[in-house]
């Protein structure tokens, strides 16, 4: 019950700021509940797959998704994420927590850049050009590998890549990123499962709390001041990083 309650509170926060929150889940599972970090990483990635599924469907229905870019980057990222899980197990548990914390801080920086650079004035790259394909595959490889290796969602990195490299406006980048995360989280979770680091009972417990909390937390998003929302988006990964290195 303690874990469900903690995940419910976590889900409310993540639903409020609109984040996948795998890094925050990893920090709570390892620091507060003493789960091995590889178990926590596998569980967090698998949980993220379920929590982003409904959001992906909703974004597609709202026409906020560049489906071609989402499929290309998502599938490329899924392959990279699976190989990233192989690298994760080669890193000692005493060290990988520090790496994950560092990536969370970098994701906070990327979030800040995303908010600063937010604009609907980008010139979208023609999706029939060679440059488009190269950049899309590059985004998939980098973000997928980061997700699989460090158990993070890489959402800020994906969105900044979509905006700066492919020229997608912020709203389209946000919607497309959810489609991209889905196969990346699935492949990353599968990698940890085949390595014996995915606890289904723990996953079920985490999902009960986070999905319920996320649904309720999302109700407060439109009611909150923009400054509070942006502060929460940037501060949450940093808080998770600090918790991991305690």
Q: pLDDT category, 68, cuts 50, 70, 90? A: very high
* Residue 210: CB atoms within 10 Å: 31
| Pairwise CA distance, residues 236 & 184, whole Å | 22
| pLDDT, tens digit, 9 for 90 and up, residues 165-217 | 898 887 788 778 888 988 998 999 899 889 888 888 898 988 888 878 777 77
Q: What is the mean pLDDT of residues 4-20?
A: 73
Mean pLDDT of the chain: 82
Whether 226 shows a pLDDT value over 70: the answer reads no
| pLDDT, tens digit, 9 for 90 and up, residues 91-134 | 887 788 888 888 888 888 877 776 776 655 667 788 889 999 99
pLDDT of residue 207: 86
More confident residue, 116 or 86: 86
For the entire predicted model, the pTM comes to 0.80
| Pairwise CA distance, residues 141 & 110, whole Å | 17
> Distances in Å between the alpha carbon of 45 and those of 116, 129, 143?
28, 33, 13
| Pairwise CA distance, residues 60 & 66, whole Å | 9
Return the minimum-mean-pLDDT range out of 73-87, 176-190, 212-226.
212-226
> Distances in Å between the alpha carbon of 149 and those of 15, 48, 144?
25, 15, 9
Q: Which residues contact 149 (CB under 8 A, 6 or more apart)?
A: 84, 85, 87, 88, 91, 99
Whether 20 shows a pLDDT value over 70: the answer reads no
Q: What is the mean pLDDT of residues 21-31?
A: 82
pLDDT of residue 16: 65
pLDDT of residue 225: 74
Helical residues (DSSP H) of the chain, grouped into ranges: 2-17, 22-27, 37-61, 67-88, 93-117, 130-150, 155-164, 170-194, 200-218, 226-244
Structure tokens at 102: 């560092």
């Amino acid at each position: 019950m303690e874990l469900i309650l903690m995940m419910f509170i976590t889900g409310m926060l993540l639903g409020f700021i609109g984040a996948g929150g795998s890094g925050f889940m990893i920090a709570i599972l390892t620091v507060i509940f003493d789960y091995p970090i590889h178990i926590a990483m596998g569980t967090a990635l698998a949980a993220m797959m379920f929590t982003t599924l409904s959001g992906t469907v909703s974004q597609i229905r709202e026409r906020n998704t560049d489906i071609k870019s989402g499929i290309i980057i998502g599938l490329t990222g899924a392959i990279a994420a699976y190989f990233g899980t192989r690298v994760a197990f080669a890193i000692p548990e005493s060290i990988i927590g520090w790496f994950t914390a560092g990536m969370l801080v970098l994701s906070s920086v990327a979030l800040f850049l995303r908010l600063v650079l937010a604009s609907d004035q980008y010139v979208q790259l023609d999706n029939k050009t060679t440059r488009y394909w190269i950049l899309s595959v590059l985004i998939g490889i980098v973000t997928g590998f980061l997700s699989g290796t460090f158990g993070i969602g890489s959402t800020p990195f994906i969105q900044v890549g979509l905006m700066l490299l492919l020229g997608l406006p912020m709203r389209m980048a946000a919607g497309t990123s959810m489609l991209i995360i889905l196969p990346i989280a699935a492949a990353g979770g599968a990698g940890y499962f085949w390595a014996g680091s995915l606890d289904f009972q723990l996953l079920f417990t985490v999902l009960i709390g986070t999905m319920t909390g996320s649904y309720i937390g999302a109700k407060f998003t439109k009611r909150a001041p923009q400054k509070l929302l942006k502060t929460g988006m940037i501060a949450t990964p940093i808080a998770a990083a600090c918790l991991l290195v305690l």
